[in-house]
Amino acid sequence: DAGVIQSPRHEVTEMGQEVTLRCKPISGHDYLFWYRQTMMRGLELLIYFNNNVPIDDSGMPEDRFSAKMPNASFSTLKIQPSEPRDSAVYFCASSFSGSNQPQHFGDGTRLSIL
Amino acid sequence: SQKIEQNSEALNIQEGKTATLTCNYTNYSPAYLQWYRQDPGRGPVFLLLIRENEKEKRKERLKVTFDTTLKQSLFHITASQPADSATYLCATVSGTYKYIFGTGTRLKVLA
């Protein structure tokens, strides 16, 4: 079984550039989550979707961040314009319905903004 | 606001000993807690879930306890092995699906 697939695994870009992170959730999962992980703040929930609909985006740090889920098998997290403080590892996770269901994480995108 | 705290200092133990990791929560009464393992460069992997009405849960060499009086969960690895070296995260949910993770405790099992 394929797990959650994220791309790219690494991204290095200059500040001001647009960054797009991609995620393919596990087939059949109806919840999708985007997280950001830093040493200082740990793993923080940015936004989550249910059946492709954004439910809670209160964790999105600024308007520079946006996320979409055009269909059940694809989601994007976009940062425009990017800033050095956005440097972090971004994870996508998916799960079945039920808040006690385990989350299945991808291996993340390590983003460095110079 | 709801908070989950884990000891951010690394824990080093000798192979064969029992590792005990702590997760404390404040301003909150979670219905359950989850524990995840994270290896360097990888995403977290789910290990165990314990509900508030369960005192203890076991899975092979892993044991999790949940003390609602102390507002604490303990995660034990018995007969630890170098392969158990990783960062362990505890997590819960605020509201419906708003997951909150601790910052994790890094465990190193010395051969």
How does pLDDT run across A85-111, given as a tens digit for each residue? 999 999 999 999 887 889 999 999 999
Interface contact flag, B97 A31, Cβ < 8 Å? yes
Contacts of A34 (CB under 8 A, 6+ apart): A23, A45, A46, A47, A48, A67, A75, A77, A90, A91, A92
pLDDT tens profile B58-107: 999 999 999 988 999 999 999 999 999 999 999 998 877 888 999 999 99
Interface contact flag, A43 B89, Cβ < 8 Å? yes
B41 touches chain A (CB under 8 A): yes
pLDDT score recorded for residue A98: 81
Q: In angstroms, rounded to a whole number, what is the distance separating the alpha carbons of residues A87 and A114?
A: 9
Interface contact flag, A103 B44, Cβ < 8 Å? yes
The encoded tokens of residue A61 equal 């740090």
Q: Which of A25-29, A73-77, B66-70 is the least confident region? A: B66-70
Per the CB < 8 A criterion, the answer to whether A32 and A25 are in contact is yes
Residue A65's pLDDT band, with cuts at 50, 70 and 90, is very high
Chain A environment of B102 (Cβ under 8 Å):
42
Interface contact flag, B42 A31, Cβ < 8 Å? no
Angle, vertex CA A48, rays to CA A7 and CA A43, nearest 5: 70
Report whether pLDDT(B46) > 90.
Answer: yes
Mean pLDDT along residues B23-48: 93
Report whether pLDDT(B27) > 90.
Answer: no
pLDDT score recorded for residue B61: 97
Residue from A45, A46, A49 whose CB has the most chain B CBs within 10 Å, to mutate = A45
